[in-house]
Each structure stands twice: as C-alpha cells, then as structure tokens.
Chains A and B, each alone.
Chain A
C-alpha cells in the first residue's frame, strides 16, 4: 500500500512540471454578469476568440457577491491556472493578496493597477473614448443638452463622465446632466432605475444620453429609445440593442486585452507592469456599423475624426478624472 502511494506521488510529481508549462487560462468576471452586453461580455468575447484560434480551453467564474472574490481567485491559483485574468477594478484587493502568495503564476487585471511583479495591469484611457462620443452627442443634440448615466459612483465611472463632458462642451453642448445609479454594486444591474433616470433626464431636456453603467445601461438605452431620444452605449458595441436609436458606442477593447493576455502567456511573452491603452494604442474607440450609419452625418464623423487625430497627436489633452479627482469642464 505504502509503495503504491509513493508511486502515485512520484507520478504526480513528474506530471506537474509538464502541466505548468502549458497555459491553462482562467477568466474571472465582475458583478453584473458575463452577459451584461457590456464590460464582462467584452472580456468573454476576447476569451472565446482565443479559444477559437488556439483550441485551448479556459475556465471562468462569475462572482455573485463580493465575498467570493478571494476564494474564487485562490482556488484557480491552487489549481495552477495560468494566466488568471480578472475583469474589473473590484478584484484589486483580492488580487494583491493572492498574487503575493503565488509568485510563479501570472495574473492580469483590467481597469485597475496592482503593483506586483507577476501582475499585468491593463487600464484604459476611457476619458479619451468618452470625449469622442461626447463630441458626437453634442453635434447630434438639438437641445444642446446631453445626459450621462453612470453605474456605481466610483472614480472610474466619473472618469467616463468627465471625458464625456469635455467632449460635449467642446462641441457646443450647453449643459450635461449627470446621474449615478447608486453607491452599491447593485447599481451595475438595475435597468429599472437606469430607465427612470433616463426619463428624468429627458424631461430636463436631454436628447442624447450616454450610459456607462454595465447592465443598467440596457434600461437606459431602452428608455431613451422609448422616449424618441438617442442613447450611447459603452464598452461593447451596443448599437444593435436598439437599432437606429443608439447614436454610437464608446468601445473599450476589453476583448483585445483579454485575448492578448492569454496569447502572451501562450507565447511565453507575458510581462508584468502597467499597460495604459488609449486612442493611440487602439484601446478605446467609437463604434460605427449599419445600425447607426443613418444617424451619424458626415459632418459629425469629420468632427469626431478630427478630435481623435488631435488627441492622438497630443494637441488636445483630455483630463483624466482619476489623476486628481476633479473635473475641470
């Protein structure tokens, strides 16, 4: 008996290095759920693309409350999953503990900076993308009043709002009505409240409304379409949610970030550190497709393209709210 156990142990020990050399990617979603048509869904799409191209399967986990984070992450780490990619700033606390305990594993976190040698932090310059959709919103608006609906009230979402205000004001909007859905993670998934906020903003005169609110945004776009106004989507291309009623979407290429993190690990090129992806790096953009072609005039497109070129060239600097917790616009 003893010999069998020893033999098994030896066999396992021999297998382990072989396993560790392979990639066994893992993806952890944030609250709001995998199919939020927005942020989490974008990361899911990136992982699916990787799977389709390489044939390497990945494991995934959806947290349903905050207390699961540490546990879920630790379990994947114990299983030797490598790399482990987390979508969402809220993972940072759990990650900074776990990453230190597993120095041999590679981690990547989206939307937050965790300074550990084995962690790749991917952040986006959402303010630049939001600036572009702000420009478009102001040009499409007849009342020159535009709206912004954020999800949970956190600096990250204020960063979206601030860039949007900057773009809208630069393109001639007189007023930007800003609302946050709430102060708890439930604010990422409350389309009813989102819709109610949108109706209120419409009654205050806003006719283009930008939703940066995860699953709540579905309600915002719905209410904007019901009220005969225009919505602007976020993260994923949401133009198709209400065809002809969504002006554009602020694309945040979370899918590309997840795909690259998986690919780098596969090609053994994975490096820790901070990646800050803006317009220049193709990390953010605005969406054009058949659904919104009729809404965007050539004039609007030209103005947005000019703003984009200016930001890339550095002649226009969009203020980053998270740099000083202030919005100068």
Chain B
C-alpha cells in the first residue's frame, strides 16, 4: 500500500467529515428536489463551532414569516412555497441569552426550487 497516497486521502476525509456530519441528507439529491416547496436548510453554531439548539430562525418574505427552530444538532430545514423569491427572503436568528454575530444566506443554482442554506453564528451573551 502506498502510505504517501493514503495520508492525503485521510486528511481530506477528516476535513470533509465534520461538514458531512452536519446534515443527514443531501439537499441536491433527486428525492429532496422532487418534494413540493423550496428547501431551506441550515444550522446555528456558536463562535467555537458548537451546535446551538432552540434557535428561532425566521425566514421573512414580503407576504409572511416562516418560523423554524433548530434541533439538538443545531439544524433546521423546511420548505417554503415555490413562488417565494429566494433572493428576497430575509433571514434572522435569535435565542435568549445569545447575541447574533452573523447570518449567512447561500442561494443555490439559479433554479426555481434550488435549496437555500441559512447559517447562524451566535455568541453567548457576556462571552468574550
């Protein structure tokens, strides 16, 4: 076995593993895309990368709000109506005892039902 070849492969695997562990599904998989509605998914983490559960995630459109809450892995996902214009959806996050550092919205490929990722970075109130 070529040890020189294995090491980079292992390192690459380790680099990918945490990200892969964040989600138990592939948002680009055909069965996900076939479901009705536009998939929104994402996570809430603190400044050390730890998952933050029970974060209120609000996806605000011109018509209404969609209110989600992150699970114990700090994840959420939901489907919004297909006629919701992803670019105009305003995302916000909040949880008592935390300060929101950043909310990142990543649009998918330019298709009507491409998944949209929303990630929240929070900091515990009083933390340096």
Task: Indicate, yes or no, whether A interacts with B.
Answer: no
